[in-house]
Structure formats: C-alpha cells, structure tokens
Amino acid sequence: MSQCDAIQESIGRWLDGELKATDSEAVRSHIAGCPDCGAARRRLEKIHSTFGGHLRAEASQLEFAPFWREVRRRIDEKRPWREDLFEWVQSQLTAPRLAWSVPAAIVLVLGLISFAKWPVDGQFSNYASVESIDTHGRNVALLREDETKTTIIWLYQDPEGENENVEEATKSGPAF
C-alpha cells in the first residue's frame, strides 16, 4: 500500500476528528502537499456537504405547530389494547433481550426438573419401590393402593396358605 493509499484510507476519520493528534497532523500535512489526496478530501467533503445541505434545507421548512398537533393527536388517541400488546411484545424481541431468553429458558427447564422432583401440595405421590425382599420361606404379595399409590407388602401367615382377607387384593396383581 502506498502512502497515498494509506492516507486516503484515513481521510474519513481525519475529517471526523477521530484520529490521534500525531496521526491527524501527519494526514493534514500530507494532504496539503498532495494533489491526489487533496482531491480525495474534496470529494468526501462534497458528498457530505451536498447530502447534509439537502437534508438541512428540508428540515428547516418543517414547522413545529402542525408537527406537534399531530404528535399530540396520537398521544390523545385511544389505541386498541391489541396494538399496545403487540408493541410490547415487539419491544421485548430485541437482540439484547433475546439473549436473556436463552438463560431464562435454561433456568425454566432446570426449575421444572427440580419441581418435578418435589411433591406439590395436594399431589403427593407415595410411590415406593421394593429393591429386595426375603420372606424366609413365606409367600408374599406386593400391592399398590390406587389413590395414594401406597405400596403394601403382605406376608402370608404360613408358607403354603393364603389369607382370605387379601383375596381380592391379590387379584389386583403384584405391585410391580
């Protein structure tokens, strides 16, 4: 890259006042002595002055009173609640807020997982599991009561007989 190329890359920042003092001085002194870079500077200034001048001229014709009347009319106008809701939803879906949705979703999932582990009032599950059982030769039946899910281990009174009081209960089958 030649010196002129490097200077022309920096002209914009120099005109914007965004260069350090030493760099700014280097650009200024180069432009003062270089026709090509001087022309580049003038082109850039022309673009800005033409564009800016046009817009400033337009804006200078804008009268405040009718403008304010229209703004006031909007403020005083009652909007349907759906529009307000839509605007609020739209305002939430901005990039910074969307970034929050990821951790929020993860926290929600973690919360649901932990919530599922603990019983909620009125929805207590009395589920129990029998890991091992040794009845020393006796017959045993495992039952589960439907509503509270209570597990019942019923030991028969002798190795061969059945207790008639649990006849119906055993018809419901083993607990597992």
Partner 1 sequence: MWKKLRNPVLLFSLVFVSVAGWLHAADTAPQSVQVTVRSILAGNNNDEFDPKLKGLEQQLKPLKHRSFRALKDETQTIPWQGSKAFEIPGGRSLTITTREFQNNRIGLEIRLTQGDKPVIDTTVKIANKGSIILGGPAHEGGSLVLSISAAAQ
Partner 2 sequence: MELSDWQLVEKCQAGDADAFQELVSRYHQKVFMVILGLLHNREDALEVAQETFFRAYRKIRSFQGGSSFYTWIYRIAVNNAIDAQRKQKRNPLDFHENIDGIFAARNEVANDPFADVHDRELRENMSKAINELTPEHKAVIVLRTIEGMSYKDIGEILGCSEGTVMSRLHYARKKLQDKLRAYL
Distance CA 146, CA 138 (A): 26
Answer with the entry of partner 1, partner 2, none that 142 interacts with (C-beta below 5 to 8 A by kind). Answer: none
User: Between the CA of residue 129 and those of 17, 74, 141, what are the distances in Å?
Assistant: 76, 66, 14
Residue range at the interface with partner 1 (CB under 8 A); choices 14-22, 23-31, 43-51, 106-114: 106-114
Structure token pair of residue 2: 């030649």
Whether 174 and 141 have beta carbons less than 8 Å apart is answered as yes
Which position among 39, 152, 159, 173 is part of the footprint of partner 1 (CB under 8 A)?
152
Which position among 74, 117, 136, 171 is part of the footprint of partner 2 (CB under 8 A)?
74
CB of 57 to partner 2, least distance (A): 5
What burial class does residue 154 get, using C-beta atoms within 10 Å of its C-beta: 0-12 exposed, 13-18 middle, 19+ buried? middle
Q: Which is nearer to partner 1, 26 or 166 (CB)?
A: 166
Note the Cα 39 to chain centre separation in Å: 50
Residue range at the interface with partner 1 (CB under 8 A); choices 25-33, 54-62, 69-77, 113-121: 113-121
Q: Which is nearer to partner 1, 34 or 154 (CB)?
A: 154
Q: Which is nearer to partner 1, 50 or 126 (CB)?
A: 126
Is 38 a residue that touches partner 2 (CB under 8 A)?
no
Closest CA to 13 of 55, 41, 46, 39: 41
Closest CA to 164 of 146, 141, 137, 145: 141
**140 pairs with which residues across the strands?**
155
Query: Which positions lie near partner 1, rule CB under 8 A?
Result: 99-100, 102-103, 106-107, 110-111, 113-114, 117-119, 124-136, 138, 140, 143, 145, 147-148, 150-157, 163, 165-169, 172
